[in-house]
Structure 1
Amino acid sequence: MEARGFSFPRQRQVLFLFVFWGVSLAGSGFGRYSVMEEAERGSFVVNLAKDLGLADGELAARGTRVVSDDNKQYLLLDSQTGNLLTNEKLDREKLCGSTEPCILYFQILMDDPFQIYRAELRVRDINDHSPVFREKEIVLKVSENTAEGAAFRLERAQDPDGGLNSIQNYTISSNSFFRIKISGSDEGMIYPELVLDKALDREEQGELSLTLTALDGGSPPRSGTSTVHIVVLDVNDNAPQFTQALYETQAPENSPVGSLIVKVSAGDVDLGVNAEVSYSFFDASEDILTAFQINPISGEIFLRELLDYELVHSYKINIMAMDSGGLSARCTVLVEVLDTNDNPPELIISSLSNSVAENSPGMVLAVFKIKDRDSGENGKMVCYVQDNLPFYLKPSVDNFYILMTEGALDRESQAEYNITITVTDLGTPRLKTEYNITMLVSDVNDNAPAFTQTSYT
């Protein structure tokens, strides 16, 4: 598969250079490139030297390197040729899930002088997945007195591909009673609904088996099927009714497994077995089935595994209540995951020197980035070094920092420094990370010889 690189026209790229103590920062330039997913390792993305308007060999001479936001080496820079290449096969679905477009952010760092260029790589989708129904057979119970025009929503198929390569249509096998109708959701997904066109008669035909097909928009399209088994029931006058159409609740991400999240409740005014209601998840994703479980009798929803706010902020759970006669009702449960300060700050070193010549003010000793996966106050950070040291930190773009000498050093006075870089978040409790550097001061010839006395007799 061929990878494609692109960037905005040169006249539209704007580069702001900030010069502080001999360090140059490119904070506003932004390169946009793309590659098809599953492209072989080493696929060409762009020639950075040409894209940045640099001469041949300038990337290598300036110690250019590529740093990604999550510290994973998705890209490889050949500094001799200037080509930016893929370092591995990129799977859009593993990287971004259902999020479209799939964007990986990275920075291009240069030394001598120091510069940062911000950039993004869009991983374009290919149609490498077929639609799949979670259940190979969908059982639908329909009362024989159901009015023509009644619609029955069916569980949708799953397709991790994005854009046009995701599910675009549903069809149903030819029959005398039902047709398919496509409905949309607020989340931009489509759902199949069976619409009754002709009245059912249980005594005439008690069961039907139809083939439901999901088709994606690839070329050629991929498809998946499920059997819809329709059981025609005798009259059951009343469907269950939930006490609420929408349940909203909150759960801290450190809630223990087995915690009660919420209890839903539905009633049925029928008598006997037609009034017995059971609860189940409806059209639930794998994330919901993994994180929660529901008691089919009580309607209580429990936590099945630990929540992680950094992965999922909230869950929308569809619940179905069905009586023994096959009539059902649905409600929605919204679970908001509350963040706790469970991630310490991270410090990622991009470049580091363990020695510095004396009499060298304004020297760059280290370049590093800090990040915290928590949110809000829990994700805010402060970064500092010890007081009373001839070194200081200068903030740069995208949470990069530069460790520099504040003034001239004197090896004869002190030949070694122990520097501790501390990153602390503002959460409760506060979490911190420390990084220790031993810095050696190298000698320069800055002292003339001196006699032990001025005269001898």
Structure 2
Amino acid sequence: MEMLLPKAPQKRQVTAIIFLLLLWEVGSTTIKYSVLEEKDSGSFVANLEKDLGLDLGELAVRGAQVLSKGNKQFLQLEQKSGNLLLKEKLDREKLCGDTDPCLLPFQVLLKNPVQFIQGELQLQDINDYAPEFLENEILLKISESSRPGTRFPLKMAQDLDVGNNTVQSYIISTNSHFHLVTQDHNDGRKFPELVLDRALDREEQPEIRLTLTALDGGSPPSTGTSQVLILVLDINDNDPEFGQGLYKVQVPENSPVGSHVITVSASDLDTGTHGELSYSFFQPSSQVMQTFEIHTTTGEIRLKKLLDFEEIEYYHMEVEASDGGGLSGKCTVALEVVDVNDNAPELTLSLLISDIPENSPETVVAIFGISDPDSGDNGKMICSIQDHLPFFLKPTVENFYTLVTEGALDRESRAEYSITITVTDLGTPRLKTQHNITVQVSDVNDNAPTFTQTSYTLWVPENNSPALHIGTISATDRDSGTNAQVTYSLLLPPPPPPPRDPHPGFASLVSINADTGQLFALRALDYETLRAFEFRVGAADQGSPALSSEALVRVRVLDANDNAPFVLYPPHNASAPCTELLPRAADAGYLLTKVVAVDADAGQNAWLSYQLLKATEPGLFSVWAHNGEVRTARPLGERDAPRHSYRYEVCLMGGSSGASDFNLLKPIVPNLLPQTTGREVEENSSFRNSFDF
């Protein structure tokens, strides 16, 4: 995802050259400070809080930070006091060389809310260097034919200081032939020039020794000296002359050491030694001496050190051609270093917030600066990140950018992002730098626990043991940490208005484990008393504020075969006889009576069947298995006894789960005359009851 100002819909990119479009508030002016070089670390520069018009302590509250270009930090901020201090002792000559004024830009970053203020520190020169000549002795050859008033330039002294602290004047020791004047070089430096006052005579004085002194503008001035040896030569008529007074040349900065730069050429009309020329640099600076060499015979100039456009873009050097008779001529070589895209962009991270709350749209993730010391297109940059990420780049001040969330993030969808910031220059070939940032999305309690089911149905057998585990409910929370820690509870309904339900409240029937969601029966349940009940449970997380959800739990009590069948008719009375009348003329199938029984259980545990177990006259009576009707199986005969007893069984149809049997003995009464008999009842462990009639 690249970013171009303004933001494009497809690519999000920012070009470094359009830095004036500021998307955050930036101070309209630049704060400027000045400090002397070589001051101790911790020296006071200014009070930022006061100068920016901020309240006491506001710098600390807003997370103020001082930023410098690159990784070199020369200032530090005391947030509590608001004082801006030197982080280390600063050497103007190392930081700026001969550039004057020496300006060190910086930025003040206020993080909350984000605001940039441009700053500038001027490093003032102190007179900590004395003038120095590169040679202890300067050789000067002068023809005795030279006329008074002729000028002879001398080599200048070097002084790393600037302004008034650098070389301001030269003096020469007292003598009878020369006086000295101080001249201005075309680059602003001052150089000495001897002026001949009286004609020389080689036979009288073949050489003259003088002392040259350079003075800077300090108080008191610092000085440097060199000896001047003047050799008086025989008459030499013609000065050497260069074909060009100015040579211009362009040299790529990636030229190897030893590369040919240019060849200068001069001629002399004299013959013999007076016409033999030698070439040398005249008044060379230290940079020229370190970087170039000249062949004394051919005038060929070559590199003896690699060029660096980012350090020095232009060189001006004077070349002197001297003949054997002490005369010389000069030319100037103007060399331009051609920039080559040899520097990849640099990225300096000033602020990184690696944990971003998921519900914070347009949150600053990182603030960084980019730079490229190359020039032209080689120094223009494009800053980009990957496409399809919920982040974008915003420019702030010059070559500073912020990485911002495009909208609210969702940790549950993606908890981590790996963002690659790519800075590419526009040179040929293009060079780039990449920096990887990992952003963790921190959780916000924006998800309530969710039950795995909206309702649960639990089946519990009756007559259970207390504390029986009857089931488990479960809820999950998509959040993390304490926001995802779920606790469970029973949700008690408000008390109902009278008349109240006679059944006990569910709180006395069940309990819940708050951590696991396990449900337990507090006491034995009785199907015949309470067949079903329901209640609501809650799941709450530990976030702030806590979020919760509910679910419905239905409990169904399973019937157990714990009740014997109960005979409603004939009446169950052991002290009174039970008599049924049967006419002699009854045909087969005559309904004698009907046994009616019930069972408090349910389902198969309450399914009843009837059968004949025992009779005094087998085959005379039968019982219908499903309805308990007792009927004659055949017509009564004359020989049939007037009184009969039978045993019938009423049993459950639930199989091995348990059954109840009832035995009934019924009297057979002839001629419709009522007869009585005693009735006996017996029970056994399988719930069988016998009745004799």
How far apart, CA to CA, are the structure 2 residues paired with 1:209 and 1:253? 43
**Match of residue 202 from structure 1:** 202
- Map Cα deviations across residues 211-231 of structure 1 (whole Å, 9 max, x no partner): 111111111111111111111
Whole-angstrom distance in 2 between the partners of 1:358 and 1:49: 33
Partner SS, residue 274 of structure 1: helix
Q: Does 1:92 align with 2:92?
A: yes
CA contact (8 A) 1:178 1:196 kept: yes
Contact 1:359 1:408 in 2 (8 A): yes
Instruction: Work out whether 1:343 is the aligned partner of 2:343.
Output: yes
Q: C-alpha separation between the residues in 2 aligned to 1:55 and 1:27? A: 16
Between 52-61 and 426-435, report the one with greater CA deviation.
52-61
Matching residue of 1:13: none
Corresponding residue for residue 263 of structure 1: 263
1:27 and 1:397 in contact (8 A); partners too? no
Q: TM-score, normalised by structure 1?
A: 0.93
Aligned with 1:188: secondary structure?
A: coil
What letter is aligned with 2:312? Answer: V
Separation in 2, partners of 1:427, 1:333? 29
Task: Report what 1:230 is aligned to.
Answer: 230
Alpha-carbon contact 2:182-2:192 (below 8 Å) kept: yes
The correspondence of residues 54-453 of structure 1 with structure 2, limited to 5 A, is 54-453=54-453
Structure 2 CA distance, aligned partners of 1:427 and 1:251?
18
Residue deviations 1:338-372 (CA, integer Å, cap 9, x gap): 00100001111001011211122111111111111
**Deviation of 1:452 (Å):** 3.1
User: Following TM superposition, by how much is the alpha carbon of 1:154 offset from its aligned partner in structure 2, in angstroms?
Assistant: 0.7
Please state how far the C-alpha of 1:53 moved relative to its aligned partner: 1.5
Q: Secondary structure at the match of 1:309?
A: coil
Residue identity opposite 1:419 in structure 2: I
Aligned length: 437
Q: Which amino acid is the alignment partner of residue 209 of structure 2?
A: S
**Can you list the C-alpha shifts for 1:325-345, whole angstroms capped at 9, x where unaligned?**
111111111111100100001
Q: Are the equivalent residues in 2 in contact too, given 1:213–1:223 (CA < 8 A)?
A: yes
1:137-168: CA deviations, max 9, x gaps?
11111101101110001111111111111111
Contact 2:320 2:328 (C-alpha < 8 Å) held by counterparts:
yes
Seen in structure 2, the aligned counterparts of structure 1 residues 39 and 456 have a Cα distance that, compared at 3 Å, is closer
Cα distance in structure 2, aligned partners of 1:165 and 1:410: 63
Change beyond 3 A, Cα 1:19–1:197: closer
- Distance across 1 between alignment mates of 2:316 and 2:406: 53
For residues 381 and 263 of structure 1, what CA distance do their matches in structure 2 show?
38
Q: TM-score, normalised by structure 2?
A: 0.62
Farther off after superposition, 412-421 or 245-254: 412-421
Is contact 2:382-2:424 (8 Å) kept?
yes
Aligned equivalents of 1:377, 1:448: Cα separation in 2: 55
- The structure whose Rg is larger is 2
| In 1: Cα distance, 2:98 partner to 2:420 partner | 41
Q: Is the 8 A contact 2:383 2:423 kept in 1?
A: yes
**Distance in 2, Cα, partners of 1:387 & 1:299:** 58
Note the C-alpha offset of 1:243: 1.2
> Structure 1 residues 246-255 or 436-445, which shifts more?
436-445
TM-aligned CA deviation for residue 456 of structure 1: 4.2
TM-aligned CA deviation for residue 28 of structure 1: 2.4
The Cα shift of 1:70 comes to 3.4
Deviation of 1:90 after TM superposition, in Å, equals: 1.1
Distance of 1:451 and 1:168 partners within structure 2: 89
Q: Decide whether the 8 Å contact of 1:49 with 1:59 is kept in 2.
A: yes
Q: Which residue of 2 aligns with 1:8?
A: none
* Contact kept? 2:22, 2:397, Cα under 8 Å: no
Q: Secondary structure at the match of 1:326?
A: coil
Counterpart Cα distance in 1 of 2:169 and 2:336: 32
Structure 1 residue 455: Cα displacement:
3.9
- Separation (CA, whole Å) in 1 of partners of 2:22 and 2:73: 29
Superposed CA offset, 1:46-93 (max 9, x none): 111111122222211211111112331211211111111111111111
Q: Provide the identity percentage.
A: 59
Check conservation: 1:318, 1:330, Cα contact below 8 A: yes
Per-residue CA distance 1:391-443 (angstroms, 9 max, x = gap)? 10011111111111101211222222221111110000001111111222222
- Kindly state the Cα deviation for residue 125 of structure 1 after the two structures are TM-superposed: 1.2
Report if aligned partners of 2:140, 2:231 keep a CA contact under 8 Å in 1: yes
Measure the CA separation in 1 of the matches of 2:264 and 2:398.
45
Distance 2:449 2:84 in 1: 54
- With a CA cutoff of 8 Å and minimum separation of 6, indicate the structure with the bigger relative contact order: 1
Q: Unpaired runs of 5+ in structure 2?
A: 1-20, 458-693
Q: Counterpart of 1:194 in 2: which secondary structure?
A: strand
- 2:248 corresponds to which letter in structure 1? E
Q: Partners in 1 of 2:62 and 2:101 — Cα distance?
A: 33
The structural deviation recorded for 1:300 is 0.6
Deviation at 1:320, TM superposition (A): 0.8
Tell me, yes or no, if the aligned pair for 2:344 and 2:372 is still in contact at 8 Å: yes
Q: Which amino acid aligns with 1:237?
A: D
Aligned residue identity for 1:134: L
Any conservation in 1 of the 2:59–2:82 contact (CA below 8 Å)? yes
- 8 Å contact kept, 2:22–2:395: no
Maintained 8 Å contact 1:319/1:331: yes
| CA-CA distance at 1:453 after TM superposition | 3.4
Mapped partners of 2:210, 2:438: distance in 1: 73
Shift of 1:19: 9.1
Q: How far did residue 27 of structure 1 move?
A: 4.1
